Every structure is written in C-alpha cells, then in structure tokens.
C-alpha cells in the first residue's frame, strides 16, 4: 500500500543519513574503489614542528624552494631523455639499447587530483599514485608479489613525508591547515593535507612557492636519508657477520647430504672468489657461459676404463650405477678421449683447476686435466664455505642461484631474525626509488601535480614586472603546463606499452 511504501522509503533514507553521519563524524568518505580518512589530530604536531628553530626552518624551506625550481627544469630534461630512449628502443632491434633504458618512467594515476579548489579551502593532495620508477615496475609482472609489502609501505611513507613538508611550510607562512588525511584508491595508498585557500591567496608568490616546493624537497631528503642508511648499513649491522649465506630450500651436495646450511659463509665458486651477493651472481653467470672447469688428478686414477654410454644429447656417461658419490670424468689421451668414473669428493679435494693438461704439469707427479662429462648446460661447481668441506653441485647454475638466498649480513645473535638486514636493505631501496620518483614526477609542470602550482607561483614571482598583464602570464603558464602534461603523458603511455607489449 502507499503507506507501507512510504514507510520503507523513509526508513531507508533514515538509515542512509545515519550511516553518512557516522562516516562524517569519523572523517571517513567511501566511494567505489576509493576510501579516504581525514583528521585534525595531527594539527598540533604540525604547529609544533613549524615553531622549532625558526631560523633553521627558514634556511630549510628556502633550500627547498631552490631545489624545487631546479627539479622542475631537471624533470623536464629527464622526461625528454627518457622519451628519446624509449623511442630508440622501440625502433631499434639492437638488444643493447634495452640495457641503456635506465630512465624509463611509468606513472600510475588515479582520479584524485593533486590539488582541489572549493569556496572555503584548497587541498594540496599528493598525487601519490603517480608512481614514477626508473624502470617499469608492474606488480605481478616484473615486481615480485613477495615484495608488494615493501612497495606499498614505502609508497605510503613517501606520501606522508611529502605532505608533512607541505603542512609545516604552510603553518610557517601563516596558512591554516584544516586537516591531514590518507586514502586508498583500489589498493594504492596516498596522503593529503587540507589548506585554507583564503590564507594561501593572501601571501606572496615566494611564500607560496616555499609551500608548493616543500613536498618534493622532503621527498628528495627522504631519498638522501635512505641512501645514506644503505651506505652505512654495515655500521648499523655491527651485530652481523660479513657475507653469510642463508637458504630458502635445502641444497644437498653431489656426493650426498652435505649441502649448505643456514648461516654458512660462502667464499668462492670454483676459482671465482665471492665477497658479496653481487660476486655470487657474477660468478654463477660466468660459470654458466664458460666451458666446464677441469681438475688436475694423478694419471694413475685414470687407468680403469669403464663402459661408456652415450646420452641423447651426444655426451658420455660412464657411471651407470647412478651413485651419489661417483661422477664420470673425461680426459685426453694419445688414442683419443678417455673416461673414468671416480669418487668425486676424493678426486677434487685439494685439486687445482685447469683447462688443459699443460696447466697440470708437475716435475715429480704425472697429472692430467679431467673434466666432468655432463650434459651441455649442466655444470659441476665446487662451493667453498669454510670451515666445512666444499659443497659439490651438479646441475644448472640458475637452479643454484634460485635454490639459495644470500645476504651480505647475517645476525651474529640467535634472537635476531636471519633476514633482518635483507628486510632493511630492500625497504631502503624501495624508499629511494619511490621517494625519488615522486620528487621527480611532482616537479613536472603538469596539470594537477605540484608542478602546476610551483610554475604558477614562479611566474607570478618573476614575470610580474616583465609581463604586467595577468591574463598573459596565465596564458604563458597554461601553454607550459600543456607541454609538460603532454610530455608526461607520452612517457606514461609508452612506458606502459613497453611493459604490456612484452
């Protein structure tokens, strides 16, 4: 009946109004794919930060102003260079160009603009989801899903530090901060500060420029701090031993379960010394692309002639019992190739590496250079990890690379987690990448980014005596912003195409 229908509609409206009031009272706003929270609880903290050491803050934000202007020019040069490299890579078949693509920028956007205007205030919201990386990073494609936590936490930290810079700079210039907030768009976190527009319009263009440049300045300094922490990581990790190796999975030796254990110190792969994670990767790559290393053994060990079997790939196997302790070796003899099935650990322990018989020449002992008879891509590798005996690995070198997890530092004390230095190092690298990228992207003179307001304030501060007509100054700013926006959009489009096309 009409009465019942009216009651249902009234009840539904009442619940909706109550729900919206409940969200508003807690500073929450929800819409499809977007959750935002705003509060004033940090206003006192911002005000306190704006009052400490006024002279130091004056120098700090003036330095940020200079950096912001330089970064605005530098970001345009960077994007032009990136665009040239991307186009060169797209139009060239030379694979080396791909290795030179170190400045490719990918931007992820969302509909929330960098600043909003209303009748009462302006929101200086960081376009946090404009994530510029110097190489294309797509979660689940070339960004490992296991490192998504580093990505999102570093992104949120970079955004918060960015907005902290805007808020403190604004309060120092006597501009009221209405509140601070954070948001999640789809799965990406972000932050913003809400500034009072009337106060912002009353201050001089130089004061405005200090506020607008503070965000990218703080991102840059966060990037520098993370880089400094990375360089000083050996000092901070004083309770850690240098270069140890931890395992994700057990890695057994070729002659039985004598593999690597968590905390073993790795010092070499064959005759390739290892003094860091980079050395480990380099040595494995080198062993993958060079012929199998040989070993000098006494000629007397090669007297027994076993039955040799030819594999499908043409290589020879002479150890038919599939023993875990024996391996088939080949050597050169006057009649041609010879093969011997020998106990692998006994044979290679203390042996010199060699390439030919000349490398094994000895005035008193008759020696020959024997080489493991293995499939084409398979390698025999001695992993040195004193004080234990060598781990003997037979297989594809990339399997060894993925079977173990290395770190340059491992805690000396049992109560510290083995991967703690790795966590710190990886997080610092993400902070450097994301915070530096946000500083670059937000410096671009582009609509809806900090660069828009930085450019407008810069033009008002420098062209007011040269171009007296305000409309002409705004027209100049519009065309500059249009060019910057097109440049950034071209980099975004080509960067995303480079990811999806491959």
Q: What is the pLDDT of residues 421-456, one digit of tens each?
A: 778 888 998 999 899 989 999 999 999 999 999 999
Tell whether 396 and 357 lie within a shared domain.
Answer: yes
In this structure, are 345 and 470 located in the same domain? no
Q: Is residue 408 part of a domain?
A: no
Q: Does 76 share its domain with 220?
A: yes
More confident residue, 370 or 261: 370
Query: pLDDT tens, 291-324?
Result: 888 888 887 777 656 667 777 766 777 876 566 6
The answer on 353 and 218 residing in a single domain is no
Q: Which of 173-182, 335-344, 429-438 comes out lowest in average pLDDT?
A: 335-344
Residues 48 and 196 both lie in one domain = yes
146-153: average pLDDT: 87
Write down the catalytic residue from 163, 173, 270, 425.
Answer: 163
CA–CA separation, 112 and 191 (whole Å): 11
316 and 383 part of one domain: yes
Q: 340 and 198 share a domain?
A: no
Q: Is 163 a catalytic residue?
A: yes
* Domain end residue (candidates: 402, 433, 462): 402
pLDDT of res. 252: 45
**How many folded domains does the chain comprise?**
3
Q: What is the DSSP string of 384-410?
A: E-TTSPPEEEEE-HHHHHHHEEEEEEE
pLDDT, residue 170, reads 96
Do 9 and 53 fall within a single domain? no
Q: Tell me the C-alpha distance between 143 and 137, whole Å.
A: 5
Contact 216, 442 (CB under 8 A): yes
CA atoms within 13 A on the CB side of 159: 27
- pLDDT band at 125; cut points 50, 70, 90: very low
Q: Do both 38 and 6 map to the same domain?
A: no
Tell me whether residue 32 is exposed, middle or buried, using C-beta atoms within 10 angstroms of its C-beta: 0 to 12, 13 to 18, 19 or more: exposed
pTM score of the predicted model? 0.69
Does residue 375 lie within any of the structural domains?
yes
- Do 25 and 39 fall into the same domain? no
389 and 484 part of one domain: no
Residue 134 forms part of a structural domain: yes
Average pLDDT (20-33) is 83
Asked whether residue 186 is domain-assigned, the answer is yes
- Domain annotation covers residue 241: no
Burial 344-381 (b: 16+ CB within 10 A, else e): bbebbeebebbeebeebeeeeeebbbbbbbbeeebbbb
The range of the structural domain enclosing residue 8 comes to 1-29
- 376 in the same domain as 463: no
Answer whether residue 197 is part of any domain: yes
Residue 448 in any domain: the answer is yes
Between 192 and 20, residue with greater pLDDT:
192
Cα 225 from chain centre:
16
Residue 102 falls within a domain, yes or no? yes
């Amino acid at each position: 009946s009409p009465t019942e229908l009216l009651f249902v509609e009234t009840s539904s409206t009442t619940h909706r109004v109550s729900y919206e009031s409940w969200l508003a009272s807690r500073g929450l706003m929800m819409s499809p794919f977007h959750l935002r929270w705003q509060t004033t609880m940090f206003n006192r903290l911002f005000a306190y930060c704006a009052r400490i050491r006024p002279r130091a803050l004056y120098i700090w934000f003036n330095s940020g102003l200079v950096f912001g202007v330089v970064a605005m020019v530098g970001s345009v040069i960077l994007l032009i260079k990136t665009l040239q490299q991307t186009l060169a890579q797209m139009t060239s078949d030379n694979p080396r160009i791909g290795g030179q693509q170190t400045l490719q920028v990918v931007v992820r956007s969302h509909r929330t603009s960098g600043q909003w205007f209303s009748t009462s205030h302006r929101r200086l919201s960081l376009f946090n989801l404009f994530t510029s990386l110097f190489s294309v990073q797509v979660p689940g494609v070339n960004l490992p899903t296991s490192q998504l936590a580093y990505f999102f936490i570093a992104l949120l930290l970079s955004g918060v530090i960015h907005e902290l810079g805007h808020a403190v700079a604004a309060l120092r210039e006597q501009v009221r901060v209405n509140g601070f907030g954070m948001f999640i768009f789809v799965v990406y976190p972000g932050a913003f500060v809400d500034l009072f527009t009337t106060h912002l319009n009353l201050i001089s263009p130089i004061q405005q420029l200090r506020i607008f440049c503070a965000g990218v300045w703080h991102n840059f300094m966060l990037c520098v701090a993370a880089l400094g922490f990375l360089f000083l990581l050996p000092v901070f990790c004083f309770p850690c031993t240098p270069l140890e190796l931890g395992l994700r999975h057990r890695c057994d030796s070729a002659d039985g379960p004598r593999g690597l254990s968590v905390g073993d110190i790795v010092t070499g792969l064959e005759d390739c010394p290892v003094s860091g994670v980079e050395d480990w990767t380099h040595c494995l790559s080198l062993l993958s692309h060079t012929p199998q290393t040989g070993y000098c053994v006494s000629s007397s060990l090669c007297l027994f002639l076993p039955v040799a079997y030819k594999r499908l790939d043409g290589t020879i196997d002479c150890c038919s019992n599939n023993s875990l302790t024996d391996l088939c070796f080949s050597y050169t003899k006057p009649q041609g190739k010879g093969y011997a099935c020998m106990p692998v650990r006994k044979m290679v322990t203390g042996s010199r590496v060699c390439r030919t018989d000349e490398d094994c020449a000895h005035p008193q002992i008759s020696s020959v250079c024997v080489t493991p008879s293995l499939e084409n891509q398979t390698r025999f590798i001695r992993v040195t990890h004193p004080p234990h005996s060598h781990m003997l690995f037979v297989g594809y070198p990339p399997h060894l690379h993925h079977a173990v997890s290395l770190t340059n530092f491992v805690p000396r004390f049992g109560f510290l987690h083995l991967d703690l230095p790795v966590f710190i190092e990886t997080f610092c690298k993400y902070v450097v990448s994301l915070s530096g990228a946000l500083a670059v992207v937000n410096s671009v003179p582009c609509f809806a980014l900090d660069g828009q307001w930085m450019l407008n304030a810069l033009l008002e501060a420098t062209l007011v005596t040269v171009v007296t007509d305000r409309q002409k100054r705004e027209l100049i700013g519009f065309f500059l912003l249009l060019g910057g926006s097109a440049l950034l959009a071209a980099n975004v489009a080509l960067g995303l195409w480079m990811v999806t096309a491959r």
